[in-house]
Amino acid sequence: MNQNLQNILKLVEESEALSAEQKKSVADWIKEVDKTITVTEFKLDRTEKVKKTTAILLEETIQELELKRKAVQETNDALHKSLEELKATQQQLIQSEKMASLGELTAGIAHEIQNPLNFVNNFSEVSSELIDEMTEELKKGNMEDAQAIANEIKMSLEKITVHGKRADGIVKSMLQHSRTSTGKKEPTDINALADEYLRLAYHGMRAKDKIFNSAMKTDFDESIGLVKIISQDIGRVVLNLITNAFYAVNEKKKLNLNGYEPTVTVTTKKTGNKVEIIVKDNGIGIPQKALDKIFQPFFTTKPTGQGTGLGLSLSYDIVTKSHGGEIKVDTREGEYTCFSIILPV
Amino acid sequence: MKAKSIKGRSVEEVSSALEQSMTYDFKPTLAIVFISIKQDRNAVCKILSDKGIDVAGATSCGEFINGYQDQGSIVILLLDLHRDAYSIFFRDVGNRDLAEVAKKLAHNALQKFNTPAFILLSTGMSKEGIVFNGEELINNLSKEFGGKVNIYGGMAGDDYSFTGSYVFTNHNHTDMGAVALVLDEEKMGLLGNAISGWQAVGTIKTVTKSEDDWVYTIDGQPAPEMYLKYLGKQSKTDEELKTLYEDIGLFYPFQVIDSADPVMRTPMMIDKERNAIKFDFPIPQGTKLQFSMPPDFDIVENVLADADQLRNTNRFEAEALLIFSCAGRLNALGPLTNSENDGLHEIWKAPMAGFFTYGEFGKGKKDRPEFHSTTCCWVALKEK
């Protein structure tokens, strides 16, 4: 017991002024006060102890948190760097896919260029012969005939120009296809674009596989007019879908089914404020289990080395993200596949 | 059932208190004894045996009954209870498999009663310094009943001397075993709870090197250095480090947070040569743990409010009360443990006895018996 309280208790006990009952009451009060003092002293002591520990713990915790913050920051930076690298890799992949599709087109392009070149060569030879004839006539002083031949030469040279420009257009188109997209939407003749890529894809297939053959049907809605699109990108989507369609009909043809006629149809149509490009084939179709994965990057059903698995994934991004459109697929395994690109006008 | 609690600072005082307690209408059959290792427990057992009283007892780190708390003394809860309602099993476990011990104990209890309940007293630390795995014992015992069993009790203490703690009956004692006072729940009602109040603080740390109950490094740093630094105790002398348990181990145990239910692990001592901390239980490498701080002072009110609520909800009127309070509470709550223990007695208004333990057994937050440390674990008893 506290010494002062002990002294008070002693005084009370020795006091003659207080009754025994009163002494007991005072003694109880003193004991209660002593208990309170003891508890308070203990609380103070423990509070001091805990306060000290808490302060140290807090300091250490702050230090640890700072270390962890730094670690998080470093991880964040590394992640950021990885993301940048990933973006760069993605761009490279897109370019690779573009070049891969360009490769597929090479044969078709060569075929397309060959025609105008033939014309150019033929008309050049013809023009040369005509000049010889004209020289003869001039020597003879037959001016009328010389004039007529000169007119023919002019017509021949005009044809050379036309076919030269055609070849020039094809080369430019090829370069445009391989170039990084500008991302700029420009008024484009969708029907012409679809037609061009249909033919290019067909000749591409033919060049790779001499026995490949397929009927090509087109049904273009002439009311579409010009539509503002990123033509390089949509061209790639259309080319990808048509190439896939040719692949599908070719695979089915290999099954030697009786009466099977490979057919790829490209249709365009305008419905309200939307334009639709539909590529339909009567090929092998897409298995149901693969259907929900076809737009995932690197997914392909083609044998190794024959597909990058990026074509439909990039097509999906081009249509949905760059053009705010939709790309839909309808298929039945062994019967048909129909892809629809729906673009807002 | 009638009950009385008695105390004494010597065998003679207890003998005298026993004589005074025994009246024509109170003839105790059972004595639950909590005794300091400084006292002569054999002499106490002989006095009780001579009176034909059965004994279930444990050594302690401080003893208390209603209105009295002391260290180095003897307290006894005397019960005048029909011998059909209880049975005492003594188990000197030694090196035996605790799962097997628990299985046999459950089997024996079920042979005796359809619905047994246990007041389980186990040893804390043997003479050789080996900590009894009370957790394994209660988990296995509880498992034998699918968790649907009442088990309350505590692990014996030795006045923080680590020279060996004991459990005993009239004629047997061990420093590595248990005494189970098995009650017939068809005749006896039990209601209890265990509340800790210690709170995890600071960041989560990982044990990076350990061997059994020795922890060498935490987060790659020497464990003793880190522990003492955190607690601002770097200046401890070698001698002081040997009594780490009493000084700060009980005050700042670790909370192991690997499982869904955090468990306390108490640093027992620091060995400077090994540069490691010895814990009360093995701590595997990779264990995640946090420091923990002793409860706020209002924990006493919380313990009491919880007991009061349980009493009212269950409409339970106790005839006797046992309290198993962690030795760490005595350090962390000091004189407030008096308020806690006496407060519980006030609520139940029944004779009470208890001791400061090296671990507690009882139902806590979950509806099944568990091993605890740092808790105030109590059980109220009545005859149906």
| B interface test, pick of A49, A54, A58 with most B CB neighbours within 10 Å | A49
Shortest Cα distance, chain B CAs vs residue A11, angstroms: 26
Contacts of A39 in chain B (CB under 8 A): 334-336, 339
Contacts of B298 in chain A (CB under 8 A): none
Q: What is the pLDDT of residue B248?
A: 66
Closest CA relative to residue B335, chosen from A53, A28, A36: A36
CB contact under 8 A, A35 and B335: yes
CB-based contact, A71 to chain B, within 8 Å? no
Cβ-proximal residues to B95 (8 Å cutoff; 6+ apart), any chain: none
Q: What is the pLDDT of residue B242?
A: 63
Shortest Cα distance, chain B CAs vs residue A80, angstroms: 27
Q: Does position B235 have pLDDT exceeding 60, yes or no?
A: no
CB-based contact, A62 to chain B, within 8 Å? no
Q: How confident is the model at residue B178 (pLDDT cuts 50, 70, 90)?
A: very high
Contacts of B332 in chain A (CB under 8 A): 46
Average pLDDT across chain B, whole number: 91
Contacts of B202 in chain A (CB under 8 A): 57, 60-61
Picking from B202, B334, B335, the nearest residue to A57 by CB comes out as B202
| CA gap B318, B344 in Å, rounded | 11
CB-based contact, B220 to chain A, within 8 Å? no
Q: What is the pLDDT of residue A65?
A: 87
| CA gap A191, A221 in Å, rounded | 8
CB contact under 8 A, A53 and B231: yes
Closest CA relative to residue B79, chosen from B317, B361, B351: B351
- The domains found in chain A, sorted by start residue, are 181-345 (3.30.565.10)
| CA gap A248, B15 in Å, rounded | 103
pLDDT tens over chain A, length 345 residues: 888 899 999 999 898 888 999 999 999 999 889 988 988 998 898 888 778 777 877 887 788 889 889 999 999 999 999 999 988 887 777 777 766 666 666 666 676 777 778 888 888 998 899 999 999 999 999 999 999 999 999 998 998 998 888 788 777 766 665 565 667 888 999 999 999 889 888 887 887 787 889 999 999 999 998 999 988 889 889 988 999 999 999 999 999 998 999 999 999 999 989 999 999 999 999 988 888 888 877 667 666 556 666 678 888 888 998 899 999 999 999 999 999 999 998
CB contact under 8 A, B231 and A39: no
Shortest Cα distance, chain B CAs vs residue A63, angstroms: 10
Q: How confident is the model at residue B45 (pLDDT cuts 50, 70, 90)?
A: very high
Average pLDDT over residues B96-107: 96
Residues 295-354 of B with CB under 8 A from A: 297, 332, 334-336, 339
Q: What is the pLDDT of residue A304?
A: 58
Q: How confident is the model at residue B258 (pLDDT cuts 50, 70, 90)?
A: low
Closest CA relative to residue B44, chosen from B29, B32, B60, B26: B32
**Residue bearing tokens 């946090």:** B290
- Span B198-210, pLDDT tens digits: 888 877 889 999 9
Shortest Cα distance, chain B CAs vs residue A12, angstroms: 24
Higher pLDDT, B292 or B149: B149
Shortest Cα distance, chain B CAs vs residue A1, angstroms: 13
Beta bridge partners of B76: B6, B33
Q: How confident is the model at residue B260 (pLDDT cuts 50, 70, 90)?
A: low
Q: What is the pLDDT of residue B233?
A: 62
Q: What is the pLDDT of residue A178?
A: 59
CB contact under 8 A, A61 and B202: yes
Q: Does position B270 have pLDDT exceeding 70, yes or no?
A: yes
Residue A36, burial from CB neighbour count under 10 angstroms (0-12, 13-18, 19+): exposed
| A interface test, pick of B68, B203, B219 with most A CB neighbours within 10 Å | B203
CB-based contact, A192 to chain B, within 8 Å? no
Q: What is the pLDDT of residue A183?
A: 75
Q: What is the pLDDT of residue B254?
A: 87
Q: What is the pLDDT of residue B47?
A: 97
Q: What is the pLDDT of residue B198?
A: 85
CB-based contact, A296 to chain B, within 8 Å? no
Picking from A35, A49, A57, the nearest residue to B201 by CB comes out as A57
CB-based contact, A35 to chain B, within 8 Å? yes
Which one-letter DSSP state was computed for residue B25? T
A99-105, Cβ contacts within 8 angstroms, sequence gap of 24 or more = A99/A178, A100/A308, A101/A177, A101/A236, A101/A239, A101/A240, A101/A243, A101/A311, A102/A174, A102/A177, A102/A178, A104/A201, A104/A204, A104/A208, A104/A239, A104/A243, A105/A174, A105/A177, A105/A200, A105/A201, A105/A204, A105/A239
| CA gap B150, A167 in Å, rounded | 96
Closest CA relative to residue B323, chosen from B4, B56, B66: B66
Q: Which of A88-97, A135-144, B281-290, B314-323 has the lowest mean pLDDT?
A: A88-97
> Has the ipTM of the complex gone over 0.95?
no
Cβ-proximal residues to A239 (8 Å cutoff; 6+ apart), any chain: A101, A104, A105, A197, A200, A201
Q: Does position B90 have pLDDT exceeding 70, yes or no?
A: yes
3 state SS of B93: coil
Q: Does position B22 have pLDDT exceeding 60, yes or no?
A: yes
Domain parsing of chain B, residue ranges: 2-195+298-383, 199-293
| CA gap A281, A261 in Å, rounded | 11
Q: What is the pLDDT of residue A114?
A: 78
Average pLDDT over residues B164-185: 97
Chain B residue at shortest CA distance from A65: B203
Q: What is the pLDDT of residue B287?
A: 92
